[in-house]
């Protein structure tokens, strides 16, 4: 298969497997999604979903969260890792939302990426999943899949994002991001497949015999 053929097969197969993929992080509005995505850095979605009920019981909106102590937030989110930095970011971004954005999550990449603890990937998730704007958030997991499937030779997530956006129709970006996450967890995990085992890997590269060496970001 050439790259475009692989992309078409992957898009079709993922749509068959996950026709209406739910958002992996539990949330009720753009603010709680923003906080959940921030917490998911170097942490599993499952663990985030175990922590956020207690966090949102403490405060589930920026007006309330801005007045909470960093220490109280840190104590709750400790299981997610990086709790000192994440707790400071959550309280500070809540203050900024109240001061600059009327206690609302801004609907723009530029404004989101100005918030503490919010990088391009987090902003992309919020823009796509909270507001429905086309985006293709790429983390290390999607970076790994894209390389195994021959969709990119990028050595970092920035280049991989550009390559995926060129390959797939813009109307499918938001679903594909989530579909890739689910497929990676179920069939093509870091330890469960080395580029030769799962259906997509073996279909795209039926003659591949050696594990894929990844260009890590």
Q: pLDDT at position 216, please?
A: 60
Catalytic residue list contains 139:
yes
How far out from the chain centre does Cα 43 lie? 11
Torsion of CA 87, 89, 95, 98, to 10 degrees: -110
Q: pLDDT at position 15, please?
A: 97
Catalytic residue list contains 3:
no
Q: Where are the CATH 1.10.340.30 domain residues in the chain?
A: 30-129
CATH of 30-129, one of 3.40.50.10420, 3.30.428.10, 3.40.50.150, 1.10.340.30: 1.10.340.30
Q: pLDDT at position 210, please?
A: 87
Q: pLDDT at position 209, please?
A: 87
Catalytic residue, from 86, 121, 163, 175: name it. Answer: 121
Q: pLDDT at position 1, please?
A: 84
Q: Which pTM value belongs to this model?
A: 0.90
Per-residue pLDDT of the chain (217 residues; tens, 9 = 90+): 899 999 999 999 999 999 999 999 999 999 999 999 999 998 999 999 999 999 999 999 999 999 999 999 999 999 999 999 999 999 999 999 999 999 999 999 999 999 999 999 999 999 999 999 999 999 988 999 999 999 999 889 999 999 999 999 999 999 999 999 999 999 999 888 989 999 999 999 999 988 887 766 5
Catalytic residue, from 86, 139, 163, 175: name it. Answer: 139
Q: Does the domain formed by 3-21+136-204 have CATH 1.10.1670.10?
A: yes
Q: pLDDT at position 155, please?
A: 87
- Tokens 């917490």 — which residue? 39
- Long-range CB contact pairs, 162-168, < 8 A, 24+: 164/136, 164/138, 165/136, 167/3, 167/4, 167/7, 168/7, 168/11, 168/136
Q: Where are the CATH 1.10.1670.10 domain residues in the chain?
A: 3-21+136-204
Q: pLDDT at position 154, please?
A: 87
CA nearest 168: which of 18, 14, 1? 14
Q: pLDDT at position 213, please?
A: 75
């Amino acid at each position: 298969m050439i790259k475009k053929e692989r992309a078409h097969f992957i898009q079709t197969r993922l749509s068959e497997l996950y026709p209406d993929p739910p958002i992996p992080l539990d949330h009720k509005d753009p603010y709680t999604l923003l906080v959940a995505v921030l917490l998911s850095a170097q942490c599993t979605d499952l663990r985030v979903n175990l922590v956020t009920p207690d966090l949102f019981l403490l405060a589930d909106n920026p007006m309330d969260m801005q007045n909470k102590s960093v220490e109280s937030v840190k104590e709750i989110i400790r299981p997610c890792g990086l709790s000192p930095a994440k707790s400071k970011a959550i309280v500070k971004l809540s203050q900024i939302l109240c001061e600059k954005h009327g206690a609302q999550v801004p609907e723009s990449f530029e404004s989101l990426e100005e918030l503490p603890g919010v990088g391009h990937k987090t902003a992309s998730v919020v823009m796509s999943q909270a507001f429905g704007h086309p985006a293709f958030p790429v983390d290390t997991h999607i970076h790994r899949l894209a390389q195994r499937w021959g969709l990119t030779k990028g050595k970092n997530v920035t280049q991989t994002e550009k390559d995926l956006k060129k390959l797939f129709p813009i109307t499918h970006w938001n679903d594909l991001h989530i579909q890739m996450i689910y497929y990676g967890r179920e069939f093509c995990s870091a330890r469960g497949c080395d580029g030769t085992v799962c259906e997509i890997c073996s279909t795209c590269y039926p003659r591949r015999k050696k594990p894929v060496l990844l260009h890590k970001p």
